[in-house]
Amino acid sequence: MDNLQSHKKEMVGIAVAVAAIGVGTAYYLYLSKNTKSKRCLDPETFKEFKLVERTELSHNVAKFRFALPTPDSVLGLPIGQHMSCRGKDAKGEDVMKAYTPTTLDSDVGYFELVIKMYPQGRMSHHFREMREGDYLSVKGPKGRFKYQPGKVRAFGMIAGGTGITPMFQVARAILENSSDKTKVHLIYANVTYDDILLKEELDSFAHKFPDQFSIYYVLNEPPKEWSGGVGFVSAKMIQDHCPEPASDIQMLRCGPPPMNKAMAAHLESLGYTSQMQFQF
Ligand SMILES: Cc1cc2nc3c(=O)[nH]c(=O)nc-3n(C[C@H](O)[C@H](O)[C@H](O)COP(=O)(O)OP(=O)(O)OC[C@H]3O[C@@H](n4cnc5c(N)ncnc54)[C@H](O)[C@@H]3O)c2cc1C
Ligand SMILES: *[C@@H]1O[C@H](CO)[C@@H](O)[C@H](O)[C@H]1NC(C)=O
Ligand SMILES: CC(=O)N[C@H]1CO[C@H](CO)[C@@H](O)[C@@H]1O
């Protein structure tokens, strides 16, 4: 009797243990499947993504939406990092350039690139020729920048032309997280008014988050009515529109090489140390 009882108990115990292991394993598989299969980028090999929608934003700028393999996939790109896109130039030769999506991993099932296509640009040619249904080769993530909420009190950002895309991504991540109080002060330089990318989105950030986000546009060739800056970004503009040098702020730069060089010199002259700066 006693033996039988304890035997029964033992059997129940084993059954419970087996069930627990089964549930645990299933849960583990479920978790790992859901985290692994959802991330699509691979730093070692190019992956192909299908262009599902192309929207012209101006005569030489278009927004490209690419589908991820499943509707619940996420790209898996850390905020502020970029990826390498590979294509063919006008001569049919391989070309590879860096791009930062304007979307985040909170956008599930797709990612978007906003691309400015230069008449003589090599990768520009590839994007100009891309049609819905075509595939783009992408590898990543790339880049040293890693955004962590609360690491700095404020960002100053100086962008030129398409250099806006990494800034946009960081700003979006901050502003869409209501518990992230980091401030963002952006200076955005371009040649003409029509060159300004993502203007509607940027203006809506400034409107929705007036205490957290500010933007100052600078144009080489401003329209007649213009309240922003004129010419190149000057040290005075940085002083007036960005946080003062301090150990808990960071200045981010992304623009064409001559502009980055000029901005680095301005920042140094204003007393920003190299630890307070980052170039994408
Ligand atoms: C981190 C990072 C993120 C980027 N994200 C984006 C993005 O989201 N969208 C995007 O469109 N680009 C982005 N770029 C720029 C992109 O990598 C390419 O430099 C750009 O698309 C031009 O490549 P291309 O091969 O067409 O031109 P190239 O063959 O390299 O250049 C051809 C001609 O275009 C001119 N040109 C090239 N780049 C510029 C420029 N920036 N300003 C003015 N003239 C230029 C050159 O003077 C040259 O005459 C990013 C760059 C970096 C470093
Ligand atoms: C939002 O911000 C808080 C506080 O800064 C941070 O702890 C949290 O990880 C952020 N959430 C996301 C999704 O990044
Ligand atoms: C794409 C584009 O127009 N880029 C320009 C925007 O303005 C900055 C600053 O004037 C230039 O350096 C970029 O080349």
Quick: pLDDT tens for 82-108. Answer: 999 999 999 999 999 999 999 999 999
DSSP 133-188: T-EEEEEEEE-S----TTS-SEEEEEEEGGGHHHHHHHHHHHHT-TT---EEEEEE
Instruction: State how far the Cα of 108 lies from the Cα of 168, in Å rounded to an integer.
Output: 18
Any atom of ligand 1 within 6 Å of the Cβ of 102: no
Question: Which residue's C-alpha comes closest to atom 8 of ligand 2?
Answer: 149
* The pLDDT value given to residue 36: 46
16 labeled part of a ligand binding site: no
Any atom of ligand 1 within 6 Å of the Cβ of 116: yes
Any atom of ligand 3 within 6 Å of the Cβ of 277: no
| Tokens (6 digits) for 32 | 């790992």
pLDDT lower than 70: segments of the chain: 1-38
* The pLDDT value given to residue 30: 47
Any atom of ligand 1 within 6 Å of the Cβ of 73: no
165 labeled part of a ligand binding site: yes
Please give the helix or strand (H or E) that residue 15 lies within, else none: helix 2-36
Instruction: State how far the Cα of 220 lies from the Cα of 227, in Å rounded to an integer.
Output: 13
52 labeled part of a ligand binding site: no
Catalytic site positions: 82, 99-100, 254
State the Cα angle at 235 between 215 and 216, rounded to 5°.
10
Task: Give the side-chain half-sphere CA count within 13 A for 173.
Answer: 22
162 CA: nearest ligand 3 atom: 1
Any atom of ligand 3 within 6 Å of the Cβ of 190: yes
| Beta-ladder partners of 278 | 252
Question: Which residue's C-alpha comes closest to atom 2 of ligand 3?
Answer: 161
* The pLDDT value given to residue 1: 46
216 labeled part of a ligand binding site: no
Instruction: State how far the Cα of 15 lies from the Cα of 23, in Å rounded to an integer.
Output: 12
Q: Which domains does the chain have, with CATH numbers?
A: 39-142 (2.40.30.10), 154-279 (3.40.50.80)
Instruction: State how far the Cα of 273 lies from the Cα of 126, in Å rounded to an integer.
Output: 39
CA 85 to ligand 1 center in whole angstroms: 12
Instruction: State how far the Cα of 122 lies from the Cα of 105, in Å rounded to an integer.
Output: 29
* The pLDDT value given to residue 4: 54
